Homo-oligomer: A and B are copies of this chain.
């Protein structure tokens, strides 16, 4: 088994660069905005365009998969080595809404290159990062002289990610057999920065609930009754206040059960990243840091579970005043979970805690939504090391490690398919996801191509060694 010669890969990619960018631009011209019903036909057109492009790339199978919402695309290219591992690449072909008048310097659906950057809605999130896999697999074949990839390669590109992936889990469950994989590669994330290429090793999970507290059967006069009966808005506030202790730790008993603690090595790796507090605060639109005592900001957002109030409401919220004791108040909470935490256990813990907090005379109801599990790849996982080596060859730099604070459909793949989830993304924070003037750095995009070109061979080789 020989390594793919790096210079041959690079040469091949440079030869294909113009055609690759032209094809990507054609796809970016389709305004596949899943959140806007008037673009439903465009989302379908985007799926059909991608399926055709994947066929042209060489995937023997490329299909549009229907859902009750927008269609997804599935493609598959078996390896010529039956013993090879199976890898499933995840991405999405729908995009966020965009309009020139939102502050774009050019039409968001008329891609344009300026200063080595390709500007268009979806350039980075996520069409560009899906599309680099097409040239990636061809570069892999060209440089190695193979006619089929070194791994059994599958792609699943959904069409509703920007709308919260409402039908994704059901789609994965329905097609679990055809999606079966030894590892999942999510290409829908980014790196620390242009200068600091990184690999993401996990995302947090998410449990969400809404707690409604009921007091008087209707709003009552605060002059006649206030001060003598319990107020559900006060009870809601006291509940929220009790959510954290004085060290900003979540005070729900049992919440931290099972949490996988950061290792010394992980903390050291996070600390190596060039974190600039002032710049981070600007991105957070905030003026001060605040969080769990004993952890750095990166540790807090990437590796520690949290409880956050997303919304609170009760009583009179219009202009002026209304002297009432409100009849009810509602709190929306979300809990970010990390590896080792079980959403069901967290739900039970929160229910018990809430029941314990609510005072006499106040009735409460809790509704939990569907939870998302956390995912975390151990640093020494052989597939992760393959990604790191492939990126290292493409970037010619040491690859550092990050995590994502958010939660995503990757967890569904991990759970339904029982496969570890890895992340391969080359987008950078300045790419403007969900914002005007979204762009992708063309050089980085081609590094993504190059990484994919190296990855399949490395993965096949080392998977075999490891298993």
Chain A contacts to B: CB under 8 angstroms:
204, 206, 208, 210, 215-218, 220-231, 233-234, 236-244, 281, 284-292, 297, 300-301, 304, 306, 308-317, 320-327, 329-330, 332, 334, 336, 359-361, 363, 369, 404-407
Contacts and interface: CB of A to CB of B under 8 A. Distances in A.
A330 B317 contact: yes
B223 A304 contact: no
A342 B309 CA distance: 36
B228 A309 contact: no
Contacts of A222: 306, 308, 310, 334, 336
Contact of A241 (B215, B237, B281): B237
Contacts of A238: 237, 240-241
Contacts of A310: 222, 233, 315-316, 321-326
A198 to B, nearest CB: 15
Given A221-B406, A314-B312, A316-B311, A301 B227 contact: yes
Contacts of A360: 288, 290
Nearest to A296: B228
A225 B312 contact: no
Contact of A289 (B314, B332, B361, B406): B361
11 contacts: A220-B286, A221-B406, A227-B304, A228-B290, A231-B308, A234-B240, A237-B239, A286-B361, A287-B363, A289-B361, A311-B317
Contacts of A326: 309-311
Contacts of A314: 309, 311-313
A427 B225 CA distance: 19
Contacts of A229: 281, 284, 286, 288-291
Nearest to A238: B241
B311 A223 contact: no
A321 B334 contact: yes
A238 B314 CA distance: 15
A285 B363 CA distance: 13
Contacts of A406: 221, 223-224, 323
A301 B323 CA distance: 14
Among A300, A312, A329, A404, max chain B CB count under 10 A is at: A312
A223 B336 contact: yes
Given A290-B229, A406-B221, A308 B325 contact: yes
Contact of A224 (B239, B311, B317, B405): B405
A203 to B, nearest CB: 8
A226 B308 contact: yes
Contacts of A231: 308-309
Nearest to A229: B286
Contact of A216 (B225, B233, B285): B285
A403 to B, nearest CB: 11
A359 B290 contact: yes
A425 to B, nearest CB: 15
Among A217, A224, A301, A311, max chain B CB count under 10 A is at: A311
Contacts of A220: 284-286
A234 B309 contact: yes
Given A204-B223, A225-B301, 9 more contacts: A221-B406, A222-B306, A224-B406, A226-B336, A227-B304, A234-B308, A290-B361, A308-B325, A310-B323
A233 B323 CA distance: 22
A239 B227 CA distance: 18
Nearest to A210: B321
Contacts of A316: 310-311, 332
B284 A225 contact: yes
A227 B334 contact: no
Contacts of A327: 285
